[in-house]
């Protein structure tokens, strides 16, 4: 009997496998605190600096009223956290590949797609943890969420979806290259994606070129949807567009990651 044939294809079993792999990924990530510090600390530092350093922007004509300025920029912090969670998941996978754990996983009777989905689910869970922390810290420093509990829950959900999508993208890079150093050098990409979306400023107030570029960045629709939900104001963005953008990102990135996994297996 071939290894592939011995894999239990029962959906319930595979769901359990995905859950177990995600749990293991999260446990390992929290154990290696040095990998998690950037994704939890950096966004908070940037939030503190931007919320204070650019707070005079509230006086610009056309700047939306969302109460405390920190309440407006926290949406960008959630996006930064989601991007960093994705990179962190990719780094963790690259560590598994370099350390040999990934090869041991391949020899187990586990569906290959489940291995990818486990990593993606862990990225989403990490994104949700970050979002909860960031929203709580912003609340302590004056942010108020008119959208109430449903708005906050929606923001956390959308951040988790985005983090899962970014985890899938980073996982596909890890699977294709198996290079830890490459993944570690991807951090600047986070800022490219972040700054080409209206992460900390309204889209109408971005400069012309950046406004045009932002229309092609899915994070634009996600961050606007988060703001709309947090402040219960659809003038700030469309929650539906946010869900569509985040779902498309997740579906597309997961498909790429599965393809990368198959390409890796073919090459071995």
Measured from the CB atom, is 11 or 62 closer to other proteins?
62
Q: Is 59 in the site for other proteins (CB under 8 A)?
A: yes
Q: Is 31 in the site for other proteins (CB under 8 A)?
A: no
Q: Is 60 in the site for other proteins (CB under 8 A)?
A: yes
By C-alpha distance, which of 42, 50, 65 is closest to 200? 50
x/- mask, other proteins, residues 39-58, rule CB under 8 A, reads ------x--xxxxxxxxxx-
* 247 class by beta-carbon count within 10 Å (0-12 exposed, 13-18 middle, 19+ buried): middle
CB of 159 to other proteins, least distance (A): 20
User: To which residue do tokens 């420093």 refer?
Assistant: 141
CB of 32 to other proteins, least distance (A): 12
Residues 124-153 that bind other proteins (CB under 8 A): none
Taken as a whole, the chain contains a residue count of 268
CB of 144 to other proteins, least distance (A): 16
What angle is formed at CA 213 by the lines to CA 208 and CA 218, rounded to 5 degrees?
135
CA-based end-to-end distance of the chain: 20
By C-alpha distance, which of 210, 173, 212, 175 is closest to 194? 210
Residues 158-217 that bind other proteins (CB under 8 A): 185, 188, 191-192, 194-196, 198-201, 205-207, 209-210, 213
What angle is formed at CA 124 by the lines to CA 161 and CA 218, rounded to 5 degrees?
30
CB of 255 to other proteins, least distance (A): 28
Q: Is 20 in the site for other proteins (CB under 8 A)?
A: no
- Tell me the number of residues near other proteins by CB under 8 A: 32
**How far out from the chain centre does Cα 224 lie?**
15
Instruction: List contacts with other proteins (CB under 8 A).
Output: 34, 38, 45, 48-57, 59-60, 185, 188, 191-192, 194-196, 198-201, 205-207, 209-210, 213
């Amino acid at each position: 009997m071939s290894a592939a044939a011995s894999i239990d294809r029962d959906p319930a079993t595979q769901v359990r496998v995905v859950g177990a792999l995600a749990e293991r990924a999260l446990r390992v990530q929290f154990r290696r605190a040095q990998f998690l510090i950037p994704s939890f600390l950096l966004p908070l530092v940037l939030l503190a600096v931007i919320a204070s350093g650019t707070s005079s922007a509230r006086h610009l004509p056309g700047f939306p009223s969302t109460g405390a300025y920190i309440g407006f920029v926290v949406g960008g912090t959630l996006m930064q956290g989601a991007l960093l969670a994705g990179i962190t998941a990719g780094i963790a996978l690259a560590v598994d590949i370099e350390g040999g754990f990934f090869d041991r996983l391949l020899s187990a009777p586990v569906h290959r797609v489940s291995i990818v989905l486990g990593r993606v689910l862990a990225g989403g869970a990490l994104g949700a943890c970050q979002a909860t922390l960031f929203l709580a810290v912003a609340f302590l420093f004056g942010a108020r969420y008119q959208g109430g509990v449903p708005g906050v829950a929606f923001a956390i959900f959308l951040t988790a979806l985005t983090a899962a999508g970014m985890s899938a993208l980073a996982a596909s890079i890890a699977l294709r290259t198996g290079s830890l150093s490459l993944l570690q050098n991807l951090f600047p990409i986070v800022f490219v994606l972040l700054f080409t979306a209206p992460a900390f400023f309204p889209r109408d107030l971005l400069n012309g070129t950046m406004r045009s570029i932002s229309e092609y960045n899915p994070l634009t629709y996600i961050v606007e949807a988060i703001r709309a939900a947090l402040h219960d104001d659809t003038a700030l963005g469309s929650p539906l567009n946010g869900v569509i953008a985040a779902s498309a990102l997740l579906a597309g990135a997961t498909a790429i990651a599965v393809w990368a996994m198959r390409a890796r297996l073919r090459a071995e």
